[in-house]
A and B are shown apart, each in its own frame.
Chain A
Amino acid sequence: MRLNVRKTYKLYIGGAFPRSESGRTYEVDGQNAALASRKDARDAVLAARAAFGKWSTATAYNRGQILYRAAEMLEARRSEFPAGEVDDAIDRLIWYAGWADKLAQVTGSANPVAAPYFNISSPEPSGVIAIAAPAGFLGLVNVIAPAIVSGNTCVVVTESAIEAITFAEVLATSDLPGGVVNILTGFAKEVAPWLASHDDVNGLDLTGVTDAELATELERQAADTLKRVIRPSTPKWTDDPGLGRMTAFLETKTVWHPKGV
């Protein structure tokens, strides 16, 4: 009888798996998970910002390839994830992977202005997105994928540490550059206010916040730097998600140039 080796569940920041700087843990399903703190949130935002330049300017084709790779890795490790969720999560990742190089065509436009100008509008990522993820694995994939497929980087807060950190291991082996996704396990109530009030965060996804008062307070904090906000909701994650989660964290840039010889 061999004694199995347990996994230590740590945070996922900048492509590495550090413990919480606070040294704290909390218990999830009988396992100890790192309990993220304010300073972990700060470090995660720094990592996300550092990763933004390269990820946002990577080709859409490349981003799509990496998301597809993540789906492949997930498929390979499906036994480590909740059986009722993993198939849908893989399929959703593939769905979003395909969007990478179609989003600009669907959400952009060539504008027929009434003057001799070349005029085109195209989407660009908003920047660093803070996400309060809903409980469970399928919800987690459903909030991360749309945020990053367009070139944003993100900091995710989730209580579902086991699935989240195992998923981080999937991402870490999918050629996803470090810092594009950062996962803080712990409590939104403690960490999210630091993200909502962080000046260097551009968007806030409150989908997983179940406390209405907390959600309102976070939205208020987000107003200080005019962050783009997705309000709390409880969607059925197997439904067609539409474009909404992607376009919420997209900016539209319109470029004008005169036409003349």
Chain B
Amino acid sequence: MFEYAPAPESRSIVNIKPSYGLFINGSFVDGSSSFKTINPASEEVLSEVASADASDVDKAVKAARTAFSKTWGKMPGKERAKYLFRIARLIQERSRELAVLESLDNGKPIKESRDVDLPLVAAHFFYYAGWADKLGYAGFGPNPKPLGVAGQVIPWNFPLLMLAWKIAPALAAGNTVVLKPAETTPLTALLFAEICQQADLPPGVVNIVTGAGETGAAIVEHPDVNKVAFTGSTDVGRIIARAVAGTQKKVTLELGGKAANIIFEDAAIDQAVEGIVNGIFFNQGHVCCAGSRLLLQESIQDAVLEKLKRRMTTLRVGDPLDKNTDIGAINSAEQLSRIRTLSEIGESEGAEMWQAPCDLPAHGFWFRPTIFTGVSQAHRIAREEIFGPVLSVLTFRTPAEAVEKANNTPYGLSAGVWTEKGSRILQIADQLRAGVVWANTFNKFDPTAPFGGYKESGYGREGGRHGLEAYLAA
């Protein structure tokens, strides 16, 4: 019997301070109150973080405005580029430290923070650094202008990666930013603030204000913010879209999803099973583009489910810092309770639940990799975003039925399609109403590839040339 011994990544590489202030105008300042951030894998308190109220946010916006008009907005693109390249390098140099801190604060496996999040974070800064002095070639006119101060609010599922997706294009385009990380995952954003200091980034160009929903609302509603960028739930996205109505603020929203992952009978089955697993269990299923609805062609339903279950028994759930952990902790007690509630609803609606047999740690927030079979489009677990390691399995008989079911949702962020037949891939990809279509793969990201949703999954794109549009005046 091959039992892997624990292989923990050392946490001594990070030095978490007992408390953190707000990063405004290049230095850390006290906030009016504070809150604790915990390690979701152990429930231990990691640090105490300042909470920004409306007046703190106002200071941050003023600092950003000043930096925009005095330094950053006037700086030649090639100089901005060098700052961004410098930040990218610093991220690479400190990537292990950032990865460990991300896993501690978020609960995601070190394997993912180390091999997925951090490389993408650095790549994102590198990519947009190169745009800073080439904006006239981006297709938005010969001399596009920045918008001014960007207010950015990001979620807890990919704390540092979402920061990169927001800050890199904003700065490259010449804007300054006030960014609020999620209240459960503020620490890597604060370490990023230290990296900005280390890079000698002019004060006020990047401001990090920590806090909960009210802090975010203060940013969104601040009259001197020119641009609002938000990633998070569709419900909050609606509130933001309402809040900016009647203003001249430009908005981009990257919201929820309920992606279909369609497996045709001629698919490369073993890779499809990997794609299913990666689609729903990557990052504990805390992924807006997760493949949470599996659509299996009826003829291969049994064979795929058998392989899927077998594969799920090899998933290792536990200590996020163990290098062999595949599935880490659920980010918060609140999220765990939502996952539990929706799973109970799934069972009460008559779907059949199956969970990978695995031991869960005694402390912290955990949920076993779970699949529901016998799910129909009418089930709540087929319609609502669970944002956890829970897969709803549905079936179809014809390509048309697969497309119809895939599109039968108010969301439209992503979709997957698996078949070895090229012409079918292209046709289905055309018909899917989703911003990202992964064909014979899933959950792949790249700074050059635009990402964003159709319908209630939001609007605007992040990544690629398209990602600049959100931060430039047309």
Interface residues of A (CB under 8 A from B): 57, 106-107, 109, 111-115, 117, 119, 121, 126-127, 202, 212, 215-217, 219-220, 222-226, 228, 231, 242, 244, 247, 251-258
Mark the stretch among B10-18, B156-164, B305-313, B431-439 that contacts chain A. Answer: B431-439
Query: Nearest chain-A residue to B469 (Cβ)?
Result: A247
Pick the residue among A111, A126, A224, A255 that contacts B439 (CB under 8 A): A255
A257→B441 contact, CB < 8 A = yes
Chain A positions within 8 Å of B469 at CB level:
247
Q: Size range of the interface on B?
A: 35 or more
Mark the stretch among B69-77, B276-284, B360-368, B460-468 that contacts chain A. Answer: B460-468
A225→B437 contact, CB < 8 A = no
B238→A223 contact, CB < 8 A = yes
Pick the residue among A111, A226, A247, A253 that contacts B435 (CB under 8 A): A253
A253→B434 contact, CB < 8 A = yes
Mostly helix, strand, loop or mixed at chain A's interface?
Answer: mixed
**B6 contacts chain A at the CB level, 8 A cutoff:** no
Between A and B, 10 residue pairs with Cβ closer than 8 Å are A111-B446, A113-B449, A117-B441, A121-B450, A212-B246, A224-B238, A247-B469, A252-B450, A253-B454, A255-B436
A121→B441 contact, CB < 8 A = no
A256→B241 contact, CB < 8 A = no
Docked CA distance A232–B465 (Å): 27
A253→B245 contact, CB < 8 A = no
**B444 contacts chain A at the CB level, 8 A cutoff:** yes
**Extra 5 A-B pairs, beta carbons < 8 Å, given A223-B238, A224-B238, A252-B466:** A111-B450, A126-B454, A223-B241, A225-B456, A256-B449
A111→B425 contact, CB < 8 A = no
Pick the residue among A216, A224, A254 that contacts B436 (CB under 8 A): A254
**B301 contacts chain A at the CB level, 8 A cutoff:** no
Given contacts A111-B446, A117-B444, A244-B474, contact A223 B437 (CB under 8 A): no
A113→B466 contact, CB < 8 A = no
Closest chain A CB from B216 CB (angstroms): 16
Chain A positions within 8 Å of B201 at CB level:
none
A226→B253 contact, CB < 8 A = yes
A220→B242 contact, CB < 8 A = yes
A226→B459 contact, CB < 8 A = yes
**B451 contacts chain A at the CB level, 8 A cutoff:** yes
Given contacts A111-B449, A117-B444, A252-B450, contact A228 B459 (CB under 8 A): yes
Docked CA distance A253–B433 (Å): 8
A219→B245 contact, CB < 8 A = yes
Pick the residue among A217, A226, A244, A254 that contacts B455 (CB under 8 A): A226
Chain A positions within 8 Å of B461 at CB level:
252
Closest chain B CB from A111 CB (angstroms): 4
Chain A positions within 8 Å of B444 at CB level:
113, 115, 117, 256
Query: Nearest chain-A residue to B430 (Cβ)?
Result: A57
A253→B437 contact, CB < 8 A = yes
A113→B446 contact, CB < 8 A = yes
A226→B238 contact, CB < 8 A = yes
Pick the residue among B234, B246, B437, B440 that contacts A254 (CB under 8 A): B437
B454→A251 contact, CB < 8 A = yes
Closest chain B CB from A213 CB (angstroms): 8
Pick the residue among B242, B434, B474 that contacts A223 (CB under 8 A): B242
- Convert B145-174 into 0s and 1s, putting 1 for each residue whose CB lies closer than 8 angstroms to a CB of A: 000000000000000000000000000000
Pick the residue among B234, B410, B464 that contacts A111 (CB under 8 A): B464
A202→B474 contact, CB < 8 A = no
**B8 contacts chain A at the CB level, 8 A cutoff:** no
Query: Nearest chain-B residue to A120 (Cβ)?
Result: B449
Which of A216, A217, A247, A255 gathers the greatest number of chain B CB atoms within 10 Å?
Answer: A255
